[in-house]
Amino acid sequence: MTSNQQPRQLNSLDIAMQWAALPPEHLKAALAALEPELARLHELSLLRARLEFKEAQDRRTHNLYLGGLIAGFIVVVAMLSGAVIVGINDMPWLAAMLAGPSVLSLAGLFVLRRVDSASARETGRAHREALAASQPPTAPAPAPADPAAGQGGAVV
């Protein structure tokens, strides 16, 4: 009758236990041979611990970026929906603020996790232009009438 079990591979402790039955000189030789294997096993366990830490860190980073994408999408959709609602209610200046360049700036902030100073300046300039375009032009104030010209005579 044959068994389908594979022969058990001996680890360093099993080998040391077998050598323990022998005289002390042989035990000293066994321990000297065992020390490099224990050092390799220790290095292997340290490497595994480092890899597990790196995997956990990568998982956390991935979840953070995915959360940023979701939050950015929600903010952009909310701002655009708000722009449509206030635009329907005859507030084009507020709609321009909500649907203007600030949407792109916020989306970039959530997705890229950084804001360049040039991008921020450009967003501010475009925002000011959008506000100026959405407001009706103001008529110049009428010039004050000259009281002396209306009477036709000299002022005493």
User: Does 125 reside within a domain?
Assistant: yes
Residues 130 and 60 in one domain: yes
The set of residues, in sequence order, having a beta carbon less than 8 Å from that of 41 and lying 6+ positions away, is 12
Number of domain units in the chain:
2
Residues 88 and 32 in one domain: no
User: Does 40 reside within a domain?
Assistant: yes
More confident site: 20 or 102: 102
Q: Over the stretch 24-53, which tens digit does the pLDDT of each residue have? A: 777 777 778 778 888 898 999 999 999 999
User: Does 74 reside within a domain?
Assistant: yes
Domain of residue 77 covers: 56-134
Residues 63 and 36 in one domain: no
Residues 25 and 75 in one domain: no
User: Does 1 reside within a domain?
Assistant: no
Q: Over the stretch 86-141, which tens digit does the pLDDT of each residue have? A: 999 988 878 888 887 778 778 888 877 777 777 778 777 876 776 676 666 566 65
Query: How much is the pTM?
Result: 0.53
Cβ of 98: how many Cβ atoms within 10 Å?
20
